[in-house]
């Protein structure tokens, strides 16, 4: 939208009050009829004028618009409207307060014009009689604040109850809305009196009470049930299925998966992937969205008690417990170690952590007892995750460690590899060559065995043929064993004559001439020899027939041996090839390729298959392409710091485990197919080509968003092609520096968080843990310890929320000395600012509230009592339906504890895994939505790109607040949200005053400025405030919140230059550097350059250092 320069005096001259006003002819005309007044489409210009006047007088939005903008007037030096006995406001003395901030005659003239118009509007409405009254009432009804207040008590009618109670709720709600509306009208109208506002509030409360009583009287129990069922049936088109637990996949309808709340507000969610999928035309996309990414939305099904699915993201965050316990045990071990040894004898904490990592590669053994003890305590973490991965089929049952004595995840020191690549490559090449040489020797041994096998195969060929013939001949006698026995008996009798014949032949052979008898006997002896051969053959047949299986098996064995010739020859060829070891050049080429794969891993997660394809089949290498070099040979190139290794390990395996558990596979292939199939059906059912094209485009968008959120969980979305590039690493360093130099006051900025529990759960439930804390602090400690088992309140150790808000959750982070130092600094900075302690405390408080609310209702269910509808809806939104609540009650009865009214479940002891996971996930989800912690579905996809991370740094929170606070609160739609919102705005105003005080700037106490600052600093406008504030900064205050409220621009952007407001803090840093350089080069080092230098300093706005720097800066000006 273009911006044009203009002279304010050309619109409103300084002597505007001297201009003659047109005479109002309304006095001479009859008032419009009431029928015309109530007709919304009337052409009566008098009614339309009355409506315009009423919109400016009785509607907060209209009044607000009528006063904006007023920041286009150039200040006039020395101007004071009260000079010369207040001559500048003559005739307007009754409204003198309105001129206090006027800085020019033109602005004073504009204020007078505004007062005149308000007086004329009131007079005209009064003269219009009934038409004026109807117009005022109509404009009041459509006031946005009043509309919002109307919806607050409607649930009271649906829930039932006493007529007086409901009337009271309506009266209180309308009164609250009237107070808010009158507050805005008072701040934007000079002619509105406090008496008028008080009367309006009283009347609104009385009318609200009457309406509430009437609604409750009309909607009796029977009528309410019938109406509720009819509406539900009409909307859903089917009976609602009953839940059997929080993890149950319901056969819900598309309408049941619809977002609750106002459609226009919900549309603002379309900037983020989760919000888009929640409004998808495909039911499967909506369900997968809930199962994948955590959200704080209310859905239509929650009204029926159907639970929102538990998100994989929530379960992944629960692995922080393992990291927290590991870090705490490591710290405790070091404290014991430090007590035993003096400062000069002991290693520092980092070296101690590295010693633990080294011990974990050596069977958890170390010369330092505390190191060995810590390693043994950490070992179960790997066993737990290994067992879970085996249950899901991610790891085989027989997985074993082959590269070390015991398992420690292999995390490479990328920068050491880059700085000493030759050494690292040489070690890998040596290992490759050593494997190849050993493989060559083994190949030679295998060839000897193969040759023996070939010889045996050659011998087995005739043996197999002979046995086959024998079996065939024997089978000819199958079923004729008796006949065969007879034949063998005859042959034995005949053969038995051999001895006698041989004696006769011997006697006859002494004669000089053979006799006829001798010839006959010799012939008979020859027949006996033949009979013996036949008898032996028959005997073989009988053996085969008596044991056919044995001989068949023997035949198969011989045939296999004979047929192995081809296989053995092929194996011989392979081993002949493997007998040739790799040359040094080949080994170094392979090592180079391996090193490139390691340092080029896009997300810092090195793939398991590192060996080049060409090595498969060479000496010593099998089909497995895993780099199995022993850890000890490259240990100085591996991370041993157990804190860093554990964090990297859990970041990699937690998403893989939970995505596989939720969807069957981590790539979600089946779910993506289901989405595509549903769209195919929708496209087939579409009525025209335009609709089909729209659905096809929507299918692509849904699949893109699902894949993006999945990859964000896995840590691979937006991964740079080259993590080593200067741009990527410089951006990461710049973001850390921006955090250190700009967020020193973030804890003060977080004061509005105090009202978030009130928004989520109401004032009374929020204060309940406070009462318990006063009565029994020990109970609070026990309950807080339970919450840590759910990953609630771990920020003091892990800085989870601080890193997320500052956009420092970079999965591609490398470990150069500078980066390690900055990472350490950001962790400590979160503690120095007290932000980590603040987050831990508020999350623990929120966890106590949420846990007590769930367990309270679980006890009611267990006792057979009914649960308030509002609580059922809230619990369903958290992921717990009535069936699961009953099971939670059973577990609480076994393991829970009521400590002076503070309930804690000791859920880590629960023996029902499904119930334990549902309960813990619900509490964690609610806490991270109450104390807003951004998730994978909360931010636009471009924020995962390198450019997006730089330009939109520090914007993550405002997007998450929009989703989890603003939109969710409107969907929640009860008094708790609006009460909390007012409190949050008030705290935002307090933040403004504290920030101004700390920075040494003056505080503007005007109501419109405080409200404006409160709205901005509370985050109640969500991401919508960012473009408004950016435009305000660029336009010099002519447009934006300040202009809308008739106040100065928002203070939060005052210290940023125009480039920084548009392009983010990194470019703001560049702008400051340019300012300093320009001052140095031009020799003009004034206030601007001094402030720019100050802004570039790390820790410059830390609450301890900022006051000192303020004094230094003031002295240098």
Question: What is the phi/psi pair of residue 304, to 5°?
Answer: -95, 5
Per-residue pLDDT tens digits for 673-687: 999 999 999 999 999
Q: Max alpha carbon distance in the chain (Å)?
A: 181
pLDDT at 249: 47
Of residues 925 and 87, which shows the higher confidence score? 925
What's the pLDDT at 1037? 80
* Cα 60 to Cα 520: distance, rounded to the nearest angstrom: 144
For 247-295, how does the pLDDT look when each residue is reduced to its tens digit (9 = 90+)? 344 589 999 999 998 888 999 999 999 999 999 999 999 999 999 999 9
pLDDT, averaged across the chain = 82
Q: Which residue has the higher pLDDT, 242 or 472?
A: 472
**697 strand-pairing partners:** none
Higher-confidence position of 62 and 333: 333
Instruction: Note whether 167 and 212 are within 8 A (CB).
Output: yes
* Per-residue pLDDT at 23 exceeds 50: no
Backbone angles phi, psi at 724, to 5 degrees: -85, -10
Q: Summarize pLDDT for 1020-1061 with one digit per residue, the tens.
A: 999 999 899 888 888 878 888 888 888 888 888 776 666 777
User: Taking the mean position of all CA atoms in its chain, how far away is CA 265?
Assistant: 23
Residue 665 DSSP one-character state:
S
pLDDT at 529: 85
Q: 299: helix, coil or strand?
A: strand
Give the confidence band of 520 by pLDDT, cuts at 50, 70, 90.
confident
Mean pLDDT of all residues in 19-48:
58
What are the tens digits of pLDDT across the range 1092-1113?
Answer: 888 888 888 887 788 888 888 7
> Residue 707 class from Cβ within 10 Å (0-12 exposed, 13-18 middle, 19+ buried)?
middle
Question: Could you give the CA distance from residue 539 to residue 335 in angstroms, rounded to a whole number?
Answer: 88
Angle at 71 between CA 7 and CA 121, to 5 degrees: 90
Mean pLDDT confidence for 192-206: 67
Residue 1063: CB atoms within 10 Å: 18
Higher pLDDT, 250 or 482: 482
pLDDT(326) > 80: yes
Can you give the pLDDT at residue 437?
83
Instruction: Give the C-alpha separation, 902 to 898, whole Å.
Output: 6
**pLDDT-wise least confident of 601-605, 855-859, 1074-1078:** 601-605
| Domain positions in the chain | 8-224, 320-411+639-656, 412-638
Least confident of 95-99, 486-490, 883-887: 95-99
Angstrom distances, CA of residue 704 to CA of 169, 211, 709, 975 = 46, 49, 9, 38
Secondary structure string (H, E, C) spanning 106-141: HHHHHHHHHHHHHHHHHHHHHHCCHHHHHHHHHHHH
pLDDT of residue 398: 80
Nearest to 967 by CA among 955, 977, 954: 977
Contact 639/412 with Cβ under 8 angstroms?
yes
The pLDDT score that the predictor gives to residue 626 is: 84
pLDDT value at position 10? 35
pLDDT digit string, tens, across residues 369-423? 999 999 999 999 999 999 999 999 998 888 888 888 999 999 999 888 988 999 9
What is the pTM (predicted TM-score) of this model?
A: 0.70
| pLDDT tens profile 818-855 | 667 777 777 788 888 999 999 999 999 999 999 999 99
Residue range 229-260, pLDDT digits in tens: 433 333 343 333 333 333 344 589 999 999 99
Confidence at residue 835, expressed as pLDDT on a 0 to 100 scale: 93
363-369: which pairs have CB atoms within 8 A and are 24 or more residues apart?
363/405, 363/406, 364/406, 368/337
Segment 533-545 shows an average pLDDT of 82
The pLDDT of residue 248: 41
pLDDT given for residue 762 in this prediction: 93
Would you say residue 621 has pLDDT above 60? yes
pLDDT at 352: 96
Task: Check residue 22 and give its pLDDT.
Answer: 38
Most confident of 126-140, 439-453, 624-638: 624-638
Q: Which residues pair with 626 in a beta bridge?
A: 609
State residue 658's pLDDT score: 97
Going by C-alpha positions, the residue among 613, 638, 608, 614 that lies closest to residue 626 is 608
Token pair for 917? 């996971």
Give Cα separations from 1107 to 168, 185, 955, 1096 (angstroms): 50, 38, 27, 16
Closest C-alpha to 69, from 1011, 985, 1035, 1003: 1035
DSSP annotation of 1003: P
> Which residues lie below 8 Å from residue 1112, measured CB to CB, with a gap of 6+?
none
Higher pLDDT, 151 or 239: 151
CB 87 within 8 A of CB 169: no
Provide mean pLDDT across the span 780-793. Answer: 94
Distance CA 522, CA 594 (A): 86
Which is more confident, 88 or 872? 872
pLDDT tens track for 926-945:
999 999 999 999 999 999 98
812 pLDDT above the threshold of 60: no
**Token code pair at residue 1034:** 């660029």
Residue 718 corresponds to which tokens in the numbers above? 């937006």
Distance from C-alpha of 781 to C-alpha of 977, rounded to nearest angstrom: 29
Structure tokens given for 855? 């367990």
């Amino acid at each position: 939208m273009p911006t044009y320069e203009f002279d304010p005096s050309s619109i409103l001259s300084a002597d505007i009050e001297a201009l003659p006003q047109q005479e109002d002819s309304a006095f001479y005309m009859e008032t419009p009829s009431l029928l015309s007044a109530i007709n919304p489409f009337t052409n009566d210009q008098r009614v339309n004028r009355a409506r315009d006047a009423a919109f400016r007088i009785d509607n907060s939005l209209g009044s607000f618009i009528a006063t904006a903008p007023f920041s286009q007037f150039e200040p006039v030096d020395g101007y004071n409207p009260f000079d010369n006995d207040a001559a500048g406001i003559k005739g307007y003395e009754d409204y003198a307060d309105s001129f206090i901030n006027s800085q020019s005659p033109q602005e004073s003239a504009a204020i007078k014009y505004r007062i005149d118009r308000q007086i004329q509007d009131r007079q005209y409405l009064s003269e219009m009689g009934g038409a004026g009254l109807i117009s005022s009432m109509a404009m009041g009804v459509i006031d946005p604040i009043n509309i919002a207040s109307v919806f607050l008590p409607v649930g009271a009618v649906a829930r039932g109850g006493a007529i007086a109670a409901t009337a009271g709720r309506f009266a209180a709600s309308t009164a609250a809305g009237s107070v808010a509306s009158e507050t805005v009208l008072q701040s934007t109208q000079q002619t509105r009196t406090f008496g008028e506002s008080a009367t309006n509030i009283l009347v609104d409360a009385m009318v609200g009470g009457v309406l509430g009583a009437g609604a409750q009287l009309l909607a009796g129990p029977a009528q309410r049930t019938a109406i509720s069922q009819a509406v539900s049936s009409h909307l859903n088109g089917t009976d609602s299925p009953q839940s059997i637990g929080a993890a149950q996949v319901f056969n819900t309808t598309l309408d049941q998966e619809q977002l609750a709340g106002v459609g226009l507000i919900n549309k603002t969610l379309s900037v983020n992937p989760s919000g888009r999928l929640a409004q998808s035309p495909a039911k499967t996309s909506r369900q997968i969205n809930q199962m994948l990414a955590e959200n704080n939305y209310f859905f239509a099904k929650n009204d029926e008690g159907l639970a929102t699915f538990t998100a994989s993201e929530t379960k992944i965050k629960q692995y922080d417990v393992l990291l927290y316990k590991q870090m705490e045990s490591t710290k405790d071990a070091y404290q014991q170690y430090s007590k035993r040894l003096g400062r000069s004898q002991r290693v520092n904490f980092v070296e101690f952590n590295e010693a633990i990592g080294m011990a974990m590669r050596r069977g958890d053994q170390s010369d330092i007892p505390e190191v060995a003890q810590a390693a043994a305590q950490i070992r179960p973490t790997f066993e737990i995750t290994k067992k879970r991965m085996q249950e899901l089929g991610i790891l085989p049952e027989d997985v074993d460690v082959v590269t070390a004595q015991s398992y420690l995840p292999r995390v490479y020191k990328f920068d050491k590899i880059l700085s000493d690549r030759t050494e690292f490559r040489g070690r890998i090449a040596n290992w490759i060559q050593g494997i190849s040489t050993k493989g060559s020797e083994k190949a030679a041994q295998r060839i000897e065995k193969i040759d023996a096998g070939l010889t045996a195969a050659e011998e087995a060929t005739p043996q197999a043929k002979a046995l086959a013939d024998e079996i065939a001949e024997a089978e000819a006698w199958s079923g004729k064993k008796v006949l065969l026995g007879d034949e063998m008996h005859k042959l034995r009798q005949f053969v038995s004559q051999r001895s006698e014949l041989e004696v006769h032949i011997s006697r006859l052979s002494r004669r000089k001439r053979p006799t006829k008898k001798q010839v006959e006997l010799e012939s008979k002896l020859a027949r006996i020899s033949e009979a013996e051969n036949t008898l032996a053959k028959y005997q073989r047949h009988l053996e085969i027939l008596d044991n056919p299986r044995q001989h068949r098996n023997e035949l198969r064995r011989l045939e296999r041996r004979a047929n192995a010739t081809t296989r053995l020859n092929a194996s011989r060829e392979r081993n002949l090839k493997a007998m040739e070891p790799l040359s040094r050049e080949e080994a170094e080429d392979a090592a180079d390729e391996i090193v490139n794969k390691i340092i080029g891993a896009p997300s810092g997660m090195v793939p398991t298959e590192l060996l080049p394809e060409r090595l498969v089949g060479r000496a010593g290498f099998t089909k497995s392409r895993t780099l199995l070099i022993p850890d000890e040979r490259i240990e100085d190139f591996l991370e041993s710091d157990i804190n860093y290794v554990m964090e990297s390990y859990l970041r990699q395996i937690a998403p893989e485990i939970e995505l596989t558990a939720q969807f069957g596979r981590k790539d979600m292939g089946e779910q993506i197919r289901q989405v595509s199939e549903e769209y195919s059906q929708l496209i087939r059912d579409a009525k025209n080509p335009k609709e089909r094209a729209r659905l096809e485009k929507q299918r692509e968008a849904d699949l893109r968003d699902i894949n993006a959120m999945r990859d964000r969980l896995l840590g691979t979305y937006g991964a740079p092609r080259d993590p080593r590039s200067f741009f990527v690493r410089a951006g990461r360093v710049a973001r850390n520096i921006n955090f250190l130099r700009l967020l020193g006051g973030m804890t003060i900025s977080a004061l509005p968080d105090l009202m978030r529990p009130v928004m989520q759960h109401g004032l009374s439930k929020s204060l309940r843990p406070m009462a318990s804390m006063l009565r029994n602090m020990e109970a609070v400690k026990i309950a807080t310890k339970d919450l840590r088992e759910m990953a609630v309140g771990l920020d003091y150790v892990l800085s989870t929320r601080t890193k997320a808000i500052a956009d420092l959750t970079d999965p591609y982070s490398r470990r150069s000395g500078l980066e390690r130092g900055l990472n350490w600094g950001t962790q400590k900075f979160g503690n120095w600012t007290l932000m980590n302690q603040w987050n831990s405390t508020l999350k623990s408080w929120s966890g106590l509230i949420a846990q007590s609310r769930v367990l309270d209702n679980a006890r009611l269910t267990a006792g057979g009592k009914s649960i308030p509808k509002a609580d059922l809806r809230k619990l369903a939104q958290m992921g717990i339906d009535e069936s699961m609540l009953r099971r939670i009650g059973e577990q609480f009865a076994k393991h829970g504890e009521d400590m002076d009214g503070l309930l804690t479940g000791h859920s880590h002891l629960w023996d029902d895994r499904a119930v334990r996971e549902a309960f813990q996930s619900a509490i964690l989800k609610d806490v991270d939505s109450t104390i807003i912690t951004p998730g994978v579905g909360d931010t636009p996809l471009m924020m995962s790109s390198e450019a997006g991370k730089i330009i939109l740094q520090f914007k993550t929170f405002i997007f998450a607040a929009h989703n989890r606070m603003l939109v969710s609160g409107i969907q929640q739609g009860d008094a708790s949200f609006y009460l909390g919102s007012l409190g949050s705005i008030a705290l935002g105003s307090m933040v403004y005053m504290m920030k101004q005080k700390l920075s040494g700037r003056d505080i503007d106490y005007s109501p419109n400025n405080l409200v404006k600052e409160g709205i901005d600093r509370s985050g109640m406008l969500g991401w919508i405030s960012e473009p408004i504030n950016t435009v305000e900064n660029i336009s010099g205050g002519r447009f934006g919140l300040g202009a809308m409220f008739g106040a100065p621009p928002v203070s939060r952007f005052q210290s940023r230059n125009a480039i920084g407001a548009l392009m983010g803090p990194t470019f703001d840093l560049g702008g400051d550097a340019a300012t300093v350089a320009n001052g140095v080069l031009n020799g003009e080092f004034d206030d601007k350059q001094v402030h720019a230098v100050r802004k570039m300093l790390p820790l410059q706005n830390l609450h301890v250092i900022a006051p000192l720097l303020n004094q230094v800066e003031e002295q240098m000006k």
